[in-house]
Amino acid sequence: MTMPNDSRKGNDFTEKTRAIIGHRAGFRCSHPACRAPTAGPSAESEAARSDTATASHIISASPNPPARRRRPVGDKTELHGPDNGIWMCGTDGRLIDTDESTYTVETLRHWKRLAERRAHLAQILKRDSVVLADDDTISHPLAPLYLPVGPTRDLVDRIDTVLIEACSYEVWGAAPTHVIRELLAEIVRNAASYGGATEALLTVEPTRIHLTDNGAAFDLLSLVGHQNGRGGQAALSTVLRDWSGSIFVESEVTSEGNRYTVALIRTIKQLQAVTPCTFTLNYEAVMGHAEPVPSDYDQCSVVHLIWDIGITYSDVDEAHAWVAWLRELGKAVVLVAPPMSDGLQEFIRAKFPEERLLILRRDVA
Ligand SMILES: [Zn+2]
């Protein structure tokens, strides 16, 4: 039987649609840790091609098990359009079709978007290997994920898998991701050993990662400044010392247990997206035209005081009253300021020895 040129076999994409899906991904696997090339020559003939890819359905084209990611879909043609396909190598194509709990529609759509962004950048930069973290023009979101990570012996590997699949290596870069992996692993270890935690969950949101454990209430940030502390203290100290300008860490005690938030931030706007616990010290506030409302901070154990006015040595004392006010409310204070000289940073640290200082870029309007 001869097949018409662009026919579809069963629930597969048509050849034409399949080619669009592959082309848009640069004919590379869309798994963030794989990116394997899937197109090459075959020795069988001058015209033969070797194609090792699978164009997988994001939402299943089949309404019946064992198909994964089945959804009621009104318009069937959408199921067979290029939007609903993701280009995978053979191995990863099988992987995503055996686990719909991990490889959700949202996660795969995310991978597809990043794969296409990567292919686009590779093309315009004329480079094969592109790390999105180096792409300063856009801050890419992480892929949403929700996974238990232990506590188990293979805890570090599990956390690493989550970070890979959330695209943290790609979007945040390898160096901060390693630091975050080590910190998260230490927090889970501490929670199990000292807090009796039996469960730890990682939830990845577009701009931040939450870790929750069901152990005894524990204030992570209370470890800061302790000498010769345990592993958790060492990991946290590294974050605060070497990454104070970019890795955000917060811990809070909730009714379900301890909840930690970790995020990579470079700008004040990104900080505000990660936490509602900020107060902006701008001209209005200093002049008394914008009074802060204490009840806005009921949920906050830490408040970020954002210095949004030109800052000179003479202005530093301006912050004292605000820091004192927040401390009276029982809040820890983190000072947030735009980039400045080392000398001025030293000066601020000397004036506010109890407070952390976070240096973040102002967003260009
Ligand atoms: Zn792959």
pLDDT one-digit tens code per residue, 285-315: 777 777 778 888 888 888 999 988 777 888 8
pLDDT of residue 299: 83
The model's pTM: 0.77
Residues 6+ apart with CB under 8 A from 8: 14, 80
- Quick check: 141 and 206 in contact, CB under 8 A? yes
Q: Ligand 1: distance of its center to the CA of 38 in Å?
A: 9
Q: Is residue 327 over pLDDT 50?
A: yes
Question: What is the rounded average pLDDT for all residues in the chain?
Answer: 87
**Phi, psi angle pair for 253, to nearest 5°:** -100, 125
Ligand 1 centre to CA of 34 (Å) is 4
Helix (H, G, I), strand (E, B) or coil at 249: strand
Mean pLDDT of 215-241: 74
User: What is the three-class DSSP state of 172?
Assistant: coil
Answer yes or no: is pLDDT of 222 > 90: no
Note the pLDDT of residue 291. Answer: 73
Q: Give the pLDDT mean for 107-122.
A: 92
Give the Å distance between the CA of 180 and the centre of ligand 1: 25
pLDDT, one tens digit per residue, over 132-188 is 887 766 778 898 888 898 888 899 999 999 999 999 998 999 999 999 999 999 999
Phi, psi dihedrals of residue 95, rounded to the nearest 5°: -55, -50
At residue 312, the pLDDT reads 84
- Quick one: fold of 137-264? Heat Shock Protein 90 (3.30.565)
In the chain, where are the structural domains located? 15-130, 137-264, 268-365
* Selection from 32-36, 86-90, 189-193 with the highest mean pLDDT: 86-90
Q: Rounded to the nearest whole angstrom, what is the distance from the C-alpha of residue 165 to the centroid of ligand 1?
A: 12
> Can you tell me the mean pLDDT for 221-245?
71
